[in-house]
Chains A and B, each alone.
Chain A
Amino acid sequence: MRELLSGDLPRSIPLAVLLVAVFLALALAPFLFPGVRSLETAARICIFILLVASYDLLLGYTGIVSFAHTMFFGLGAYGVALASLHLGRGYDSVLLGSLVGALAATVLALAIGLFSLRVRAIFFAMITLAVASAVAVLVSQMSGLTGGEDGLNYKIPRELTPAFRLGELFGVRVNGRVLNYYLVFVACLVLFLILLRIVNSPFGRVLQAIRENDFRAEAIGYRVVWYRVTATCISAVMASLAGSLFAIWLRYVGPDTTLSFAIMLDILLMVVIGGMGTIYGAVLGATIFVLAQNYLQALMGSAAEATAALPLIPDLLNPDRWLLWLGLLFILSVYFFPTGIVGRLRAGR
């Protein structure tokens, strides 16, 4: 177990309990919570855990702010979509699409990193914002290739679709959708453990040293630029693989689901809520956030209806204003809980 977690144990009993609970719930999701919608939520949680963990490698461990993480996510997703569309349905095209997406993400991350990290880490935040928005616009304009705003629908191997029936298990109908879920779950778990391995390796320690004091790290003899660029590339590859899984799961890609700035904000919020600088923070942050997103917005809607007679309040509670509350929560958590849930739990041991 210790080996599997790379020696980075939760170090807090409540945290360990929560992590095990999330793990069990996700591992048994198709049987514990049957139904299309809850399976959808579970898959989304898995993918976002991976995505947020890969972002945390950049933000929490290396101390670099990137706004292009959704771009890498989108590259992976569009890779799978385009490969499945043009090469026909099949595992080989899914695999090829993921690989090409990951490769493209690496090259792009390398280029951006070399350009901006060489000078000042703060350039990186601005340049990634510019590049990511340019890519998002490009994708929605090149409708011949990418389907534009409408996105792309495509076919994935038949064994992964609801049409493929296997029979019943514990009173739950097992079909291709469940297989697909387990593909997503296992892939995310493996990649998550790899990320855990990376941040607890000597390489990860150097990243943390750079976060704390880059000047001193350079003075000790580590090539700070090289480490920063490598971390960017690793994080980009992981994000693009998460995107590929998302594309396999949804059987649809579009700018809104993969490239939009709103998703970037979601990721930022998940990292901050869960706790920057701990990969476990990604698990809790993503789980809480996705659950809240799915179920709280309905609550806001009913609250807005209940207060419809009052002047400004229904406007503030309108489900479309969800981002307003997220933004406030975000600012407050950066101020008051910079270490997030995980940091709190570990401190309260």
Chain B
Amino acid sequence: MTAAPDHRPTFAQVALSDRLGAAAPFALIPVLVVLGFLAIGSSSSWLTLTVSGLAMGMMIFIMASGLTLVFGLMDVINFGHGAFISVGAFIGISVLIGLGGWTGAPSLLLNVAAVLLAVIAAMTVTGALGWGFERLIVRPVYGAHLKQILVTVGGLIVIEQLIHVIWGPDEIFLTRPETLKGAFTFWDAAIERYRLLAVVIGLVLFLAMRLVLKRTKIGLIVRAGVQNPEMVEALGYRLRLVFIGVFIAGSALAGLGGVMWGLYQEVITAGMGEQMMILVFIVVIIGGLGSVEGAFIGALLVGLMQNYIAFLAPTLALISNIGLMTAILMWRPQGMMPVVKAK
């Protein structure tokens, strides 16, 4: 009988370079902002562009966060997510148009109440729609990526066409509520009020989401489920229920993003969700599938990049995002902050 080998565990500290590497993506945003400043030169237009880039990024983040969590948790890729964006926008804007008396009044209270009602309506409907979508469309095809992609694309088309049937084929123009119109100047830069509001909402949502994910029990289960679903189920949690909850929340957030995007653009079309999906996918890929922080950074990068490039070289705006994605995938093929998977 041989003696057990001498085993001496070593407790190595995480190397500084590894820690820096994990945090490196956060540094990209200031770097991009500074680069934008150098390229644009004029500080007032730089400030305007930065604010609108951040606003756009926040809205994309709101739409992308649900998608990335759903993927991380259940390995489900939902191409139909864009449909929730469109439906949210149409419901929300219909409510706003219906409350025309409130939005037209120059009173902050009435305006905010109208927007809040619109958002609640949109989120309720898209949340319910997400629940139905999960039951009818996604559930029968668990575990089969190919079928998931095909079926959810089918769902996207059907919902988009139903929007056409219900609201008619034309785009709908709208005006923002009275107090959200216009801009104010700050250091010679014109900053639209609505954009600032979008930045604030996005930031609050991100912090709230982080708080829920990092500080509550349900957040712990979700994060653990993303890392190793089998283990969480073995410990007795019904991950299916958690997953349905996350799916509904993600759909509702897509609806919120849709309302905000509709108010930002002041025009809504049934195809808007499909167009946004392209940016959302880019964000989710560069952020690393399953990672909320990654999606946040990715969304801000995409928003800033799009606005800077649209100012510097308008024709390159769409290509710039593809270029950004390529560069980041060359740096980190799994995305900036891939969630470690035990499978």
* B residues near A141, Cβ cutoff 8 Å: 315
* A residues near B238, Cβ cutoff 8 Å: none
Q: What 0/1 pattern do residues 307 to 343 of B give for CB contact below 8 A with A?
A: 0000000010011011001100100011000000000
Q: What 0/1 pattern do residues 70 to 107 of B give for CB contact below 8 A with A?
A: 00000001010000000000000000000000000000
* B residues near A65, Cβ cutoff 8 Å: 145-146, 149-150
| CA–CA, A285 and B192, complex, Å | 52
Q: Are A129 and B278 in contact (CB under 8 A)?
A: yes
User: Does B158 make an interface contact (CB < 8 A)?
Assistant: yes
User: Does A142 make an interface contact (CB < 8 A)?
Assistant: yes
| CA–CA, A261 and B285, complex, Å | 21
- Please name the residue on chain B nearest to A211 by beta carbon: B146
Q: Are A119 and B333 in contact (CB under 8 A)?
A: yes
Category for how many chain A residues contact B:
35 or more
| CA–CA, A321 and B270, complex, Å | 13
Q: Are B315 and A142 in contact (CB under 8 A)?
A: yes
Q: Are B322 and A134 in contact (CB under 8 A)?
A: yes
B positions within 8 Å CB-CB of A? 77, 79, 137, 140-141, 145-147, 149-151, 153-158, 160-162, 164-165, 169, 274-275, 277-278, 281-282, 284-285, 289, 315, 318-319, 321-322, 325-326, 329, 333-334
Q: Are A127 and B325 in contact (CB under 8 A)?
A: yes
20 example contacts (A-B, Cβ-Cβ < 8 A) are as follows A116-B329, A122-B77, A126-B285, A127-B285, A129-B281, A130-B281, A133-B275, A134-B319, A141-B315, A142-B315, A268-B150, A320-B164, A320-B169, A321-B164, A323-B161, A324-B164, A327-B157, A334-B141, A334-B150, A335-B141
| CA–CA, A338 and B160, complex, Å | 24
Closest 9 CB pairs of A and B: A327-B157, A324-B161, A331-B154, A327-B158, A126-B281, A330-B154, A65-B149, A134-B318, A119-B333
Identify whether the interface residues of B are mostly helix, strand, loop, or mixed.
Answer: helix
User: Does A131 make an interface contact (CB < 8 A)?
Assistant: yes
- Please name the residue on chain A nearest to B316 by beta carbon: A138
| CA–CA, A125 and B281, complex, Å | 10
| CA–CA, A324 and B164, complex, Å | 10
User: Does A99 make an interface contact (CB < 8 A)?
Assistant: no
Given A65-B146, A118-B333, A331-B137, does the pair A321, B322 have CB atoms closer than 8 Å? Answer: no
User: Does A316 make an interface contact (CB < 8 A)?
Assistant: yes
Q: Are A63 and B146 in contact (CB under 8 A)?
A: yes
Q: Are A330 and B161 in contact (CB under 8 A)?
A: no
Q: Are B165 and A331 in contact (CB under 8 A)?
A: no
Given contacts A119-B334, A265-B153, 17 further A-B contacts (CB under 8 A): A116-B329, A121-B145, A122-B145, A125-B77, A127-B325, A130-B281, A130-B322, A133-B278, A133-B318, A134-B318, A137-B318, A141-B315, A268-B150, A321-B165, A324-B157, A327-B161, A338-B147
